Amino acid sequence: MREGGCSSLQSWSQFESFCFIIPKTMHTSLALLLLPLGALSLPLEPSSPEFDPSLVARCGANPCEGVPSTGHSDSLCDNKYLGPKLLTAAEDPEWSEMFNGYSPLGSYCPKAFLDKYVPSGKKYEYPDKDGALLDSAGVPVTTEYTLHEGYELDRFGTRYGGYLAPKDTPFSWRSIPPSNLNKYPDSPEYNYWVWRVKETFNITGGPIAPWFGQPGYGLQFYHEGGLQELEGTFLELVEKKKCSCEALHDILKA
């Protein structure tokens, strides 16, 4: 160090050069360290919205107001009866055809949906007559259908429920609750199951009544004893990717 020490230097550049002895290549690094925290933060990818934009547009910035939690964090408003928090199936090429245009709660806001379809807070209120469309006299519009070998059917939900539909029926036509799309252990994606008829049989079927905020009017088949009575004898469970859907009028005869 020069005679007189750092205190005898007359300029900052002299002080910097002879007292700090900092190489010029480090100037920028020190300057960066002195910047306010966050000044150099990199832009983050947009986070996923907490709610579907259409739900916010319909129900406000807090669509969950007044909705009780059932402790299911993957569900909308943490309430299992409202289905998945965000459903992206319509954007997935594998599922888009079935989910195109589907709105999980229809035109309802979460609380209004629960008030109408889950008034007890403990279970859904289902339509009368097994969900069949009723005529003006209140009689189910049903008939006996003959399902022939090779015809394919599907359902969303548990494996052994009593309802089936022609494979690839749009989800909104089925009038089933949004919780049928919740995630469950040991269940396939969207709880979607497909069967192929292995032996021709008869089953009751007809158009579906509108319910759960959905338009309905798809074709449903109903077997009161559940599918466990049909699987193995009349139906075989197949993987979705192995299905080869045939035209309804070619194989289904009423």
Q: Show which residues are catalytic.
A: 155, 220
**What secondary structure letter does DSSP report for 69?**
P
Please name the residues in contact with 82: beta carbons below 8 A apart, sequence gap of 6 or more: 67, 75, 76, 104, 105, 110, 113, 114, 178, 179
Give the number of other Cβ atoms within 10 Å of residue 114's Cβ. 22
> What ranges in the chain are assigned the alpha helix state H?
12-15, 27-33, 53-59, 96-99, 110-117, 248-251
Note whether 77 and 64 are within 8 A (CB). yes
